[in-house]
Amino acid sequence: MEAIKIINISKKYQLKSENVIAVNGVSYSFLYGKLYAIMGHSGSGKSTLIHCLGLLDKVDSGKIYINDKDISDFSEKQKNIMRNEKIGFVFQNYYLNNNMRAFENVMLPMIINKKYQHIDIKTKAKKLLKEMGLEDRVNHYPKELSGGEQQRVAIARALANNPNIILADEPTGNLDIENEIYVLEKLRNLADTGKCVIIVSHNMLVKKYADIVINMKNGKFVVKNHEI
């Protein structure tokens, strides 16, 4: 089944002196049960694209369907619900809340969700952090964590509401090789359980875990099926 379908989407940034066309007329269907690696040079439009897929930014033209629903008709409230319940997003720069401890950062999407009991939320947050090898860091604030530790908190937070779609922008950018492999295996397992996982990365290792490798070049897709 299609998780995300995009039809001819474009996004440009207007600067005083020039226009940058970051995403240039891309059409594609992302399926459940698959792991996609979106690779490409710096500035090729990867973050812009994944932000649009995650409803964090708006396209200028084209259509995005998530679970067969045209999201251009969605109100902000509907988008917030979709983001909270269906999509786990790992930001390139983590975007942790600096005034919250690691476990509170992971709890936040579950608190917004309102479907969980408070006591369960805390237990679940700590379990997710433990799975990321951070059981000794649950009470730390982001500034008391290394870059790689913050990155793993951000991954735990993205998985908090058990989303069916996981969008990760350079999720292994700050990890050592051991944690990198661990995180990629975890994301691979999530795809194998039927989730749609899209990873944006420069890291060639990601290719090894992907069903499909997409190269982004000047805002366009060049797609290759990949033998795992």
Ligand X SMILES: Nc1ncnc2c1ncn2[C@@H]1O[C@H](COP(=O)(O)OP(=O)(O)OP(=O)(O)O)[C@@H](O)[C@H]1O
44: contact with Mg ion by CB under 5 A: no
Binds 54: which of Mg ion, ligand X, none (CB < 5-8 Å by kind):
none
53: contact with ligand X by CB under 6 A: no
Stretch touching Mg ion by CB under 5 A, among 46-54, 63-71, 81-89, 217-225 = 46-54
Stretch touching Mg ion by CB under 5 A, among 47-55, 76-84, 99-107, 184-192 = 47-55
42 versus 193: smaller Cβ distance to ligand X = 42
The neighbouring-strand residues paired with 24 are 10
Beta strand residue intervals within 44-187, DSSP E? 61-66, 69-70, 87-90, 165-169
C-alpha dist (Å) from residue 150 to 33, 128, 199, 206, 214: 27, 13, 18, 20, 27
46: contact with ligand X by CB under 6 A: yes
44: contact with ligand X by CB under 6 A: yes
- Binding Mg ion (rule: CB under 5 A), the pick from 44, 47, 172, 201 is 47
Closest by CA to 171, choosing from 138, 197, 135, is 197
- Please name the helix (run of DSSP H) or strand (run of DSSP E) that holds residue 5, with its range, or none: strand 2-14
Number of shown-chain residues binding ligand X (CB under 6 A): 13
Residue with tokens 């992302």: 30
Name the residues that contact ligand X, by CB under 6 A: 13, 15, 20, 22, 40, 42-48, 92
